[in-house]
Amino acid sequence: MEKRTKLVHGGTKRSQWGELSEAIFLTQGFAYDSAEQAEARFIQSAPDEFIYARYGNPTVRMFEERIAGLEGTEDAFATASGMAAVNGALMSMLRAGDHVVAARALFGSCLYILEEILPRYGVEVSFVDGADLDQWRAAVQPGTKAVFFESMANPTLELVDIEGVSSIARSVGAKVLIDNVFSTPIYSNAVAQGADVVIYSATKHIDGQGRTLGGVILGSREFIRKTVEPFLKHTGGSMSPFTAWVMLKGLETMDLRVRAQTASAGAIAEALENHPKVRQVRYPGAPSHPQYDLAMRQLGAGGTMVAIDLHGGKEAAFRFLNALEVVLISNNLGDAKSIATHPATTTHQRLTDDQRASLGIGDGLIRLSVGIEDPRDLVADILNALELI
Q: Which residues would be at the binding site for ligand PLP (CB under 6 A)?
A: 81-83, 86, 107, 109-110, 150, 154, 179, 181, 201, 203-204, 213, 215
CB of 37 to ligand PLP, least distance (A): 36
Residue-wise over 117-127: b if at least 16 C-beta within 10 A, else e?
ebeeeebebbb
CB of 387 to ligand PLP, least distance (A): 31
CB of 137 to ligand PLP, least distance (A): 24
CB of 388 to ligand PLP, least distance (A): 29
Cβ proximity to ligand PLP: between 139 and 199 the closer is 199
Cβ proximity to ligand PLP: between 12 and 109 the closer is 109
Cβ proximity to ligand PLP: between 191 and 199 the closer is 199
Cβ proximity to ligand PLP: between 50 and 257 the closer is 257
Residue-wise over 258-286: b if at least 16 C-beta within 10 A, else e?
bbbbbbbbbbbbebbeeeebbebbbbbbb
> End-to-end distance of the chain based on CA atoms, in angstroms?
49
CB of 25 to ligand PLP, least distance (A): 23
Give the residue closest to ligand PLP by C-beta.
Answer: 82
Cβ proximity to ligand PLP: between 150 and 255 the closer is 150
Packing angle, helices 313-323 and 375-387, rounded to 10: 130
In terms of phi and psi (left: phi > 0; alpha: psi -120 to 50; beta: otherwise), the region of 362 is beta
Cβ proximity to ligand PLP: between 152 and 268 the closer is 152
Own/partner long-range contacts of 360-364 (Cβ < 8 Å, ≥24 apart): 360/156, 360/158, 361/155, 361/156, 362/309, 362/313, 363/313, 363/314, 363/317, 364/279, 364/309, 364/310, 364/311, 364/312, 364/313, 364/314, 364/316, 364/317
CB of 81 to ligand PLP, least distance (A): 3
Cβ proximity to ligand PLP: between 181 and 372 the closer is 181
CB of 5 to ligand PLP, least distance (A): 27
Cβ proximity to ligand PLP: between 84 and 316 the closer is 84
Phi first, then psi: give them for residue 127, nearest 5 degrees.
Answer: -105, 140
CB of 264 to ligand PLP, least distance (A): 19
